[in-house]
Amino acid sequence: MPQPSSPSIAALSLADLPGRDVAVRHLRHPGRWISGGIVVLLLALIGHAFAVGQIQWLVVGQFLTAGVIITGFGWTLLISACALVLGVALGFAFGIMRLSENPILRFAAWLYVWIFRGTPVLLQLLIWFNIALVFPRLYIPGLVDERMVDVVTPFVAAVLGLGVNEGSYLTEVVRGGIGSVDSGQKEAAHTLGMTPGQTMRRIILPQTLRLILPVLGNSAIGMLKFSSLAATIAMGEMLNAAQRIYFINGAVIELLFVCAVWYLAGTTILSIGQYYLERHFGRDAATATSERRWFRGWARRPAVEGEA
């Protein structure tokens, strides 16, 4: 009995087979064209709405490179960088403490994470900024004796607030990273006679760093954005600068758009940097040498296709 479903296939006899260079016609994908067309249309509508909306694009362009904004962006970058460094340092310090044999150190690290991960970062910023209400003087015998308001400037409060908060997240990240380095690495180091400190510094931490590099990249991007919270404590970073301008000239949306452009520029550059750093360190070493060569020369090469 013939199979009713495949008569046409069965009908192709060997004698009718085409040559090896036979042309191939691909399926058309009308669905893709339609959905793509709809999205393009929507984008065009949104773009048009903003173009004809009540935005003075000239003002946006004008303030994009205004001195106050550029200076503010400089502060934004500085706060983010300092807070990130502080956060990473605290993350590693407390992450190692979390795995200490000493239960008191473990508890202290747990307490740090509990408090600073458990409260909003904006609240923490405000507390740091107003810390002088609790401790009017910063007094360390023989080292410092100053009024707290002179020490904890808005800049210092911003860096402390953002950095200490970030550190509480990174503590958990570092703890997980150390935990996922194979325990055989530690044992091998011990049988060579390396002390716990040497093992940590030379064997465990370098491998941890590679594991958590993607998270650190995200931290850097997040930090750049969170630094805008410092505007609330009178720190003259970019958002604060923009606010001071629009309180005077009333161009609210225009100045907020200026900020958006700069934040996007910053996060884009960081994403690209993250991509190359991960290429460099993050993967297994199988292709490490060739990639390293590539990394050194990447500035001279055309952009890679695909990601980034």
Partner 1 sequence: MNLAIKAVGIRKSFGNHEVLKGLDLEVAYGEVLCILGPSGSGKSTFLRCINHLETPNGGYVWVDGAIMGYELSRGALQELPIKKLRAQQSQLGMVFQHFNLFAHRTVLGNVIEGPMVVRGLSRAKAEAHAMDLLEQVGMAGKASSYPSQLSGGQKQRVAIARSLAMEPRVMLFDEPTSALDPELVGEVLEVMRNLARGGTTMIVVTHEIGFAREVADRVVVMIDGEIRETGAPGQVLSNPADPRVRSFLSRVLA
Among 35, 119, 180, 195, binds partner 1 (CB under 8 A): 195
Among 62, 198, 249, 268, binds partner 1 (CB under 8 A): 198
Instruction: Answer yes or no whether residue 284 interacts with partner 1 by CB under 8 A.
Output: yes
Place of tokens 């594991």: 211
In angstroms, what is the minimal distance from the CB of 176 to partner 1?
18
**DSSP assignment of 170-203:** HHHHHHHHHHTS-HHHHHHHHHTT--HHHIIIII
CB–CB of 90/164 below 8 Å?
yes
Instruction: Answer yes or no whether residue 53 interacts with partner 1 by CB under 8 A.
Output: no
Instruction: Answer yes or no whether residue 213 interacts with partner 1 by CB under 8 A.
Output: no
* Sequence-separated (6 or more) residues with CB below 8 Å from residue 63: 69, 242, 245, 251, 254, 255, 258
Instruction: Answer yes or no whether residue 117 interacts with partner 1 by CB under 8 A.
Output: no
Among 46, 188, 234, 269, binds partner 1 (CB under 8 A): 188
Beta-carbon neighbour count of residue 268 at 10 Å? 12
The interface with partner 1 within residues 83-112 (CB under 8 A) comprises none
The dihedral built from the CA positions of residue 144, 146, 150 and 152, taken in this order, carries a sign that is positive
Instruction: Answer yes or no whether residue 214 interacts with partner 1 by CB under 8 A.
Output: no
Gap between the Cα atoms of 125 and 127, Å rounded: 5
Stretch that binds partner 1, among 102-110, 159-167, 177-185, 258-266 (CB under 8 A): 177-185
Instruction: Answer yes or no whether residue 187 interacts with partner 1 by CB under 8 A.
Output: yes
The dihedral built from the CA positions of residue 14, 19, 21 and 22, taken in this order, carries a sign that is negative
User: Taking CB under 8 A as the rule, which mask of x and - marks residues 239-278 in contact with partner 1?
Assistant: ----------------------------------------
In angstroms, what is the minimal distance from the CB of 172 to partner 1?
23
State in Å, rounded, how far the first CA of the chain is from the last one: 58
* Nearer of residues 16 and 101 to partner 1, judged by Cβ: 101
Binding site for partner 1 (CB under 8 A): 182, 184-185, 187-196, 198, 202-203, 206-207, 210, 284-286, 288-289
